[in-house]
Amino acid sequence: MLTVRGVTKSFGGLVAVNQVSLTLNEGEILGLVGPNGAGKTTLLNLISGIYRPDAGGIVFCGEDITRLSLDAVCKKGISKTFQHPRSFPALTARQGVMIGALYGNGRRPTVREASREAEECLRMVGFPEDKIDSPITNLNTFELRRTQLARALASHPKVLLLDELTTGLTPSEGKEAVSLIRKLRDEGMTILMIEHVMRIIMGVSDRIVVLDHGEKIAEGEPAEIVTNEKVIDSYLGERYHF
């Protein structure tokens, strides 16, 4: 569904993503892991059109999207959540999600329709009904995460890119977030997710790609990844136990 071929992105002298290739198959959950600064967020930013790669290409559903803007990529059906989500603090949860509906994938809903869709998306991700019209600043972390997910869903994506969606959540909230992600996949969504809690990523991913210093150092099923010597050396530190 999505093919990333040899993408590279530098910031000044720093090569944040170095000739990374990966394939995302329809209906799968692909986990992206690696130490802090490995280039995970940058790679998602390249796919979603926030950055343009210095080299390499990205093909989505047979179409070259390498040089498209964030907005154009979103309209093609790739939607991303942000690692640091307080982008529109003055908006309410509903308004934040309406942005996704209004500027999303290929449709032009009216404001009224977008408002109703926002409500549906918030409900779908378990957002509390009585806070739908609360300012985003009044939300707790989990409510904020639900809003992010709802906003991404409101754009009717085929592919969801999730950047550390469970960060800041308690273990039980994390579990609930994971079951939400699974439910979305079971309903047909294709998901590429960055996650730093190994227990979570190992449990939820069909396949995992490991980045280190901007380079892909491993790729495989969770059971292969946890026994991969390179991954253990650079990231896991010691053998990981399920």
Ligand X SMILES: Nc1ncnc2c1ncn2[C@@H]1O[C@H](COP(=O)(O)OP(=O)(O)O)[C@@H](O)[C@H]1O
Catalog residues that contact Mg ion under the rule CB under 5 A: 40-41
Stretch that binds ligand X, among 9-17, 61-69, 72-80, 230-238 (CB under 6 A): 9-17
Residues 220-227: contacts with CB within 8 Å, 24+ apart? 222/31, 226/202
User: Residue with CB nearest Mg ion?
Assistant: 41
Residue 11, interface with ligand X (CB under 6 A)?
yes
What three-state secondary structure class fits 180?
A: helix
**Cα–Cα distance measured from residue 156 to residue 104, given in angstroms and rounded to the nearest whole number:** 7
- The pair of structure tokens assigned to 176 is 């609930």
How far apart, in Å, are the Cα atoms of 13 and each of 9, 17, 19, 20, 173? 10, 12, 15, 18, 39
Candidates 37, 57, 109, 168; binder of ligand X (CB under 6 A) is: 37
Stretch that binds ligand X, among 40-48, 105-113, 174-182, 220-228 (CB under 6 A): 40-48
> Would you say 74 and 122 are in contact if contact means Cβ atoms under 8 Å apart?
no
95 binds, among ligand X, Mg ion, none (CB under 5 to 8 A by kind): none
Which residue, among 174, 199, 204, 200, has the nearest Cα to 189 in the 3D structure? 204
We find the least distance from the C-beta atom of residue 39 to ligand X, in angstroms, to be: 4
Residues written for the chain: 242
Candidates 4, 7, 16, 236; binder of ligand X (CB under 6 A) is: 16
Q: Of 97 and 165, which has the nearer Cβ to Mg ion?
A: 165
Q: Of 142 and 235, which has the nearer Cβ to ligand X?
A: 235
How far apart, in Å, are the Cα atoms of 74 and each of 61, 142, 152, 154, 178? 13, 24, 9, 11, 23
Ramachandran angles phi, psi of 79, nearest 5°: -125, 140
Residue 71, interface with ligand X (CB under 6 A)?
no
We find the least distance from the C-beta atom of residue 195 to Mg ion, in angstroms, to be: 10
Q: Of 154 and 236, which has the nearer Cβ to Mg ion?
A: 236
We find the least distance from the C-beta atom of residue 41 to Mg ion, in angstroms, to be: 3
Stretch that binds ligand X, among 32-40, 147-155, 171-179, 199-207 (CB under 6 A): 32-40
